[in-house]
Amino acid sequence: MSSLTEEIQILKKEKQAMILAHYYVPDEVQEIADVTGDSFYLSKVAKEADAKILVFAGVSFMGESAKILNPEKKVLLPDPAADCAMAHMADVEKIRAMRDRYPDLAVVCYINSTAKLKQYADVCVTSANAVKVVKALPNKHIYFIPDQHLGSFVAAQVPEKEVIVGDGYCPVHHQITAEEVRQAKKAHPEASVFVHPECPKEVTELADYVGSTSGIIRAVAEDEAKTCLIGTEMGVFYELKKQNPEKEFYPLQAEQCCYDMKKVTLKKVRDCLRDETNEVYVDREVSEKANRAMELMLQLAK
């Protein structure tokens, strides 16, 4: 055990803290976390956690979401500059215009969004529950923000609704191409392909499985293929290899890296826990409004 790891373990006990880590943060941070998971699982844990301090090893919208769901809790971010580009890719004026145009509209906001955007949503979703939540809504018209690809993926599963999608995208998944999938399949004809729904439609169409990070981890374990081609951020390889040491994993593309997630280092986890710095604050009014959309998600996704 490194001295940093030891220090974190001691601090965690001393301060009754809990470390939550997303599957995309560096391996050594996932290793010291109390819980690792996808955005949906981590939201549920954050809501129910009774630790005094939550350290959220992830990007800033994840820390904000934990604070919104558990406002009395002290939530710390190892690096508040670790941000998700897509979280900002929606426009309040456009939301207002859509509401004027469709009186029955439900604004469905992907959890990968700022608290400021979430406050205008009727319900939040994660990649693990988006289809289920949208299906459960009584509204015919849905405005899905910010991710165009997850929005289109959901739209295809709920043909009974009219889903209008935003124009946001994840820079990491958006750049994966169908040609890269074809090349990877050519190099590994025996492999199964697993991709995240933030990938473009041409990519998801070529996959054997499309789902959230935890969905991919589950699907790989259930799949008979010994070789797996993975279309999501590289951090997920840590859990995949841990759970399936007999399988081989290849990325669809060399650039599958979210540099913001990689800003979350062990040293920053230690520093923020030791000094209780980078506490997450969300304006009370914003938080209360965003919380309604988050709570409805948890209810509908049960």
Q: Which residues bind ligand SF4 (CB under 6 A)?
A: 59, 84-86, 112, 170-172, 198, 233, 258, 260-261
Single out the segment in contact with ligand 13P by CB under 6 A; choices: 121-129, 137-145, 264-272, 281-289.
121-129
Contact between 128 and ligand 13P (CB under 6 A)?
yes
State in angstroms the smallest separation of the CB of 219 from ligand 13P.
12
Contact between 170 and ligand 13P (CB under 6 A)?
yes
- In the numeric block, which tokens belong to residue 244? 């399936």
Footprint on residues 10-69 left by ligand 13P (CB under 6 A):
38-39
Q: Which does 239 bind (CB under 5 to 8 A by kind): ligand SF4, ligand 13P, none?
A: none
State in angstroms the smallest separation of the CB of 52 from ligand 13P.
25
Contact between 70 and ligand 13P (CB under 6 A)?
no
Among 43, 192, 204, 213, binds ligand 13P (CB under 6 A): 213
State in angstroms the smallest separation of the CB of 86 from ligand 13P.
8
Contact between 95 and ligand 13P (CB under 6 A)?
no
Among 43, 60, 114, 126, binds ligand 13P (CB under 6 A): 126
State in angstroms the smallest separation of the CB of 147 from ligand SF4.
8
- Give the nearer residue to ligand SF4 in terms of CB position, either 21 or 258: 258
- In the numeric block, which tokens belong to residue 216? 């991919």
